Structures are given as C-alpha cells and as structure tokens.
Amino acid sequence: MKRDFLTVSDFATEEILAILDRAVSFKRNPHLRADMLAGSSVGLLFDKSSTRTRVSFEVGIDQLGGHSIFLTSGELQLGRGESIRDTSRVLSRYLKAMVIRTYAHEAVEEFARHARIPVVNALTDQHHPCQALADILTIQEKKQTLSCRIAYVGDGNNVTHSLVQAAGRVGAELVLACPPGHLPDQSILRAANAESRVPVSVLEHAEEAVRGADVIYTDTWVSMGKEGEAEERALVFRPYQVNRHLVSLAAPSCIVMHCLPAHRGHEITDEVLDGSRSVVLDQAENRLHVQKAILEFLMDRSS
Ligand code: CP
Ligand code: NVA
C-alpha cells in the first residue's frame, strides 16, 4: 500500500497533528533523517510556475539525502499525448515519490491512481494542501495555539479550499469574506464542515470577517490560469484589499499571512505586507519543514 497527499482530507486529524510535530523537529534539526532518501530520486513535475514550492521541495529532498528530478509535461512524452496512466506506471519504476503541480486536480488524481509510489499535490486549480499545513504550523508557532479566529479575505480559490479543509480539523475558526461569484466550492465547504470541529462561516464583507480576528490571510485575486480575468477581478475584489484600515479592525495582536507570490497594491498593500504583523517569510520558510515531514510520513507508510 502507498499513501498520497492530494488534499488535506487525505490525512486524519491526528496524522496532521503528528506531521506538524515532526515539522517542528525538522525545523529545529535540519539534519534529521538525513539519509531517509539516500540513493533515491523524487520527481517534481511542474506545469505551472513556482518559486517556494519547487525550491523548498528540492532543498528538502536534498536534506533527506535524496535527489530530485525537475520535469515539465512539455519535456516529457506526456506533452505529445502519452497517457497519464502510462507515464505514472513507468515513472513509478524509477522514482521513490512524485510531486506534481498542474491545472486539473483530476490529472493528479489519475496519476496517483496508477502510481505505485506516493504522490504529493504541489498545487492544482482546486487544492494546495502543502501550503495549508505550512499555514497551520505558522499559526501554531506565532499564536502558541490553534484555538484562534482566522479571517480569509479575497478569492475562494485553491489556497482557500485547502485552508477550509485544515482549519476546523485542528480547532481553528475560519471566517471567509469573498465577493459573490468567487466563493469557494460549495461541495468542498460542505464536506469540510461535516468533518470539522468548528464550521467555516462565509460572509460577504471583509470588514465584518476581520473584526476581532487573530489572523488575516489573503491570496492573489488572479490565480495561475486566470490571467485573462485580471482586469475584471481587480474591480470586483477592490473592497477586499488587506490594508491598514482592514488590519486596524482585527485583534491588536493579529498576524497577517499570505502564501505568496503577492501582488502588491492589489490584494495587499506594501505597508501591511512589509509591516510588523506580517509573518509571510516565516510562513514561506515553513513550507520546507512541513514538506519534509509530509515526505517522511508518506515514505514511512508506503511499501
Ligand atoms: N505559495 C506558493 O506555492 O508559492 P510558489 O508558487 O512560488 O510555489
Ligand atoms: N492561488 C494561487 C496560489 C499561488 C501559490 C494560484 O493558484 O496561482
């Protein structure tokens, strides 16, 4: 049997908490399990741009003693029509794990279905689970508790979906403020609420959502693949900008999070992104520690 990590829901709550604990250990000691992947290669198949995810996986795999092979569909026979099924079955014979960033979530699911090796979702149009675990780790580290109120303001996108699946499971209250027409997927929301200790609330107004919040989180208004809608989105999302006024409505000790890359002057102002409440660099760093813990978890449980 092998385990995959395609959405946050693939892990039980106690597994998520165990991974967060291990991530703390990896952060304290980067040399932990330094030979876990010795003699092994991990594939990184990226069909969308990436700075943090790609580099943190490459560095993490290196620190675990392994070798990473960076791939794009265009360079593989996949780009010339070879099936995902055949690609997955063949690559499973060479690699110890596969990390995939692409558009359709179904493509990663199909790859995982045919793979003998663990598959990790490094972002699809629907989910960004590695990001959500790094986000939770960052909140735990900064707030010393997960019993807090997170206000996510902006587009109901892949990052939102993964946060929706993670927050309630670890005991955090999540309040979303998204413009009409840009709400998260209702079936993801319903399913997350059904398995969550704290249901997610969805509001329309950003000011209402951030009132008393311990964490304000935002992401780009124009995710990869949505570039054609940039102009229209800039208008619709304008009232959802995380700026000095919005932050002033939150709890005095509120932290500001953004998965990055940020579009300064759009979803967040320079002043807030670079200000004293911003934890975005620690959040980005935590990607590395959490992903090492995710790889360890999957490798230890897959035979
Ligand atoms: N947050 C995140 O996934 O960043 P990259 O797109 O740079 O990997
Ligand atoms: N929602 C963004 C996240 C980037 C890390 C996107 O999909 O482009």
Q: What is the CATH number of the domain that holds 172?
A: 3.40.50.1370
Q: Are residues 120 and 161 in the same domain?
A: no
Whether residue 127 lies in the annotated active site = no
CB-neighbour burial class of residue 272 (10 A; exposed 0-12, middle 13-18, buried 19+): buried
Q: Are residues 100 and 139 in the same domain?
A: no
User: 154 with 233: CB under 8 angstroms?
Assistant: no
Asked whether residue 98 is assigned to any structural domain, the reply reads yes
Nearest CA to ligand 2 atom 1: 223
Q: Strand, helix or coil at 97? A: strand
User: 90 with 268: CB under 8 angstroms?
Assistant: no
Task: State residue 186's pLDDT score.
Answer: 97
Q: Are residues 279 and 293 in the same domain?
A: no
Task: State residue 198's pLDDT score.
Answer: 87
150: left (phi over 0), alpha (psi -120 to 50) or beta: beta
Whether the CB of 159 sits within 6 Å of ligand 2: yes
Nearest CA to ligand 2 atom 6: 223
User: 17 with 136: CB under 8 angstroms?
Assistant: no
Q: Are residues 230 and 166 in the same domain?
A: yes
Position 222: which residue type? V
Query: SS3 breakdown of the chain: % helix, strand, coil, rounded to 5?
Result: 45, 15, 40
Whether the CB of 52 sits within 6 Å of ligand 1: yes
Name the closest ligand to CA 127.
Answer: 2
Residue segments in the chain with a per-residue pLDDT below the cut of 70 = none
Q: Strand, helix or coil at 32? A: coil
Task: State residue 196's pLDDT score.
Answer: 86
Domain that holds residue 276: 131-283
Asked whether residue 3 is assigned to any structural domain, the reply reads no
> CB neighbours of 169 closer than 8 A, spacing ≥ 6?
8, 13, 16, 192, 195, 196, 197
Q: Are residues 185 and 78 in the same domain?
A: no
Q: Are residues 34 and 93 in the same domain?
A: yes
Q: Are residues 54 and 168 in the same domain?
A: no
Alpha-carbon distance of 288 to 30, in angstroms, equals 10
Whether residue 47 lies in the annotated active site = no
Give me the number of domains the chain comprises.
Answer: 2
| Probe residue for ligand 2, chosen from 224, 259, 280, 287 as the CB with the greatest number of ligand atoms within 8 Å | 224
User: 192 with 170: CB under 8 angstroms?
Assistant: no
Q: Are residues 12 and 89 in the same domain?
A: yes
Q: Are residues 274 and 245 in the same domain?
A: yes
Asked whether residue 2 is assigned to any structural domain, the reply reads no
- Of 36, 38, 40, 98, the closest CA to residue 73 belongs to 98
pTM: 0.98
Asked whether residue 143 is assigned to any structural domain, the reply reads yes
218 token code pair:
């935002």
Q: Are residues 166 and 35 in the same domain?
A: no
Whether the CB of 53 sits within 6 Å of ligand 1: yes
Q: Are residues 136 and 19 in the same domain?
A: no
13 token code pair:
């709550």
Instruction: Report pLDDT digits (tens) over 72-130.
Output: 999 999 999 999 999 999 999 999 999 999 999 999 999 999 999 999 999 999 999 99
Q: Are residues 166 and 254 in the same domain?
A: yes
